[in-house]
Amino acid sequence: MRGALTLQEISDQPATWLAAIERFKRDAVRVDRLFEKQSPDEVVFTGCGSSYYLSMSAASAFQMVTGLRAKAVPASEILQFPESVFVQDASHLLVAASRSGTTTETLRAMRASARRGISTLCLTCAAQSPLGQRADLLLCSPKGAERSVVMTKSFSSLLLLGLLLAAQRSGDEGLRRELCRLPALGRRILEIALPLTRDIGTTASRFVFLGAGPSHGIAWEAMLKMTEMAQRMAVAYHPLEFRHGPVATVGPGTVAVLFGTRAGASLEAALIRDLRGRGATTVVLRDDWEAAAEADVDVTLGVGLSDAARSMLYLPFAQALAYWRAVGAGLDPDRPRHLTSVVRL
């Protein structure tokens, strides 16, 4: 069956998350020691492709809950424009994400950072990889590696490690409890996401993914999954930024998917009403807040999580949507054309 590996790996995510949580518990003391030793002024999250997008969500959540400056940059930015990344006379910690631990740009970025005296914390699925062995601290997703090309359970489990890092650094027990609920909630979400997304956008020519705050990286990852697996035209934007020009392209044949936030619920609902009025098919994923978006497909998760933790539960919907559009087009999501699981320069 085409896409059998990808479908299984999407479905395996709750067990993968549980394994990552259990592994993190063993490393929590080492995390504390690293931050006590380095005392960074800023944490820089980096990666390539999907790993960069998970870094975007992780950095947003990290700064929100810790109050410590954090940002995400592509690994190539560290190689080409390091002065735009690292502030002179400030103390930095680099958090480098790579599923395989062998991505060329990420390894070079780590070496370039080390030459500046910057310590590195690695998020990976391969503990014995070059990245894992050279980092000052390794956080591993022991069941995150895939056999298929595209990142699904590796993405979500590495993002989970990034969120656990934020909860540990901040001492936020509420967030920690939320993250520990995710494996059980994920099983329920998959039962909704897999059948729901099968028939969405079957004739769409264009997909738009919208997300703010911790969900902004999720929107970019959703765009990438649709591009990689289904080879459909897809873009990602901050919801309100979409009004500033790109809204001109909306009409019949456009599917707009919003990964809702409690912080922006009323403004996001107004945008969805506008897009629907312009002929787009609208899909909203949200919790149970009152600002209903009146979307064509309105999915209320009812999980009672913060925006940071809930962003994890949006991933199965994004992945399943791309999977079904690929299968519907006769493509093999396990082996997208022109792609390999690791990019080496």
- C-alpha angle 168-314-21 in degrees, rounded to nearest 5: 30
Note the pLDDT tens digit of each residue in 175-184.
Answer: 999 999 999 9
76 and 165 share a domain?
Answer: yes
> 308 and 239: one domain?
yes
For residue 180, is it within any domain? no
In tens, the pLDDT along 66-110 reads 999 999 999 999 999 999 999 999 999 999 999 999 999 999 999
- Domain final residue, candidates 117, 136, 171: 171
Residue 213 belongs to some domain of the structure? yes
* Same domain as 309, residue 261: yes
Q: Which residues make beta-bridge pairs with 43?
A: 70, 93
Reported as half-sphere exposure (CB side, CA atoms, 13 A), residue 123 has a value of: 30
Q: Are residues 143 and 291 in the same domain?
A: no
The three-class DSSP label of residue 284 is: strand
SS3 category, 228: helix
CA angle at 44 for the pair 91 and 234, rounded to the nearest 5°: 165
> Which residues lie below 8 Å from residue 82, measured CB to CB, with a gap of 6+?
112, 116
Residue 110 lies in a domain: yes
Q: Let me know if residue 338 belongs to a domain.
A: no
Tokens of 138: 């390794």
The predicted model scores a pTM of 0.96
| Beta-strand runs (E) in 212-309 | 233-237, 254-259, 281-286, 297-300
CA distance 114 to 116: 5
15-29 pLDDT, tens digit per residue, is 999 999 999 999 999
3-state secondary structure of 107: helix
On whether both 98 and 226 belong to a single domain, the answer is no
User: According to the model, what pLDDT value does residue 336 have?
Assistant: 75
Q: What CATH number corresponds to the domain at position 113? A: 3.40.50.10490
Inside any domain, residue 337:
no
Residues 69 and 133 in one domain: yes
Confidence band, pLDDT 50/70/90 cuts, at residue 288? confident
Answer yes or no: is pLDDT of 230 > 60: yes
Same domain assignment for residues 158 and 246: no
Q: Are residues 78 and 137 in the same domain?
A: yes
The arithmetic mean of pLDDT across residues 33-55, rounded, is: 96
The verdict on 19 and 110 lying in the same domain is yes
Q: What is the 3-state secondary structure (H, E, C) of 164-177?
A: HHHHHHHCCHHHHH
Residue 285 lies in a domain: yes
The residue type found at 129 is S
**Does 201 map to a domain?**
yes
What range defines the domain where residue 321 resides?
188-328
Residue 319 lies in a domain: yes
Same domain, yes or no: 143 and 11? yes
Give burial (CB, 10 Å; 0-12/13-18/19+) of 281. buried
**In this structure, are 131 and 198 located in the same domain?**
no
| Mean pLDDT of all residues belonging to the chain | 95
Q: Which of 125, 279, 296, 66 lies closest to 196 in space, CA to CA? A: 296
Residues 258-285 have a mean pLDDT of: 95
Q: What is the pLDDT of residues 183-207, one digit of tens each?
A: 999 999 999 999 999 999 999 999 9
> CB-side exposure of 258: number of CA atoms within 13 Å?
36
Structural domains in the chain (count):
2
- Residue 339 pLDDT: 64
| Percentage of the chain modeled with pLDDT above 90 | 92
Q: Residue 344's pLDDT band (boundaries 50, 70, 90)? A: low
How confident is the model over 116-156, as pLDDT tens digits? 999 999 999 999 999 999 999 999 999 999 999 999 999 99
Same domain? For 106 and 201 the reply is no
Task: Indicate the DSSP class of residue 226.
Answer: I
Query: Does residue 1 have a pLDDT over 80?
Result: no
d(CA 320, CA 274): 26
Asked if 97 and 124 touch (Cβ cutoff 8 Å), the reply is: yes
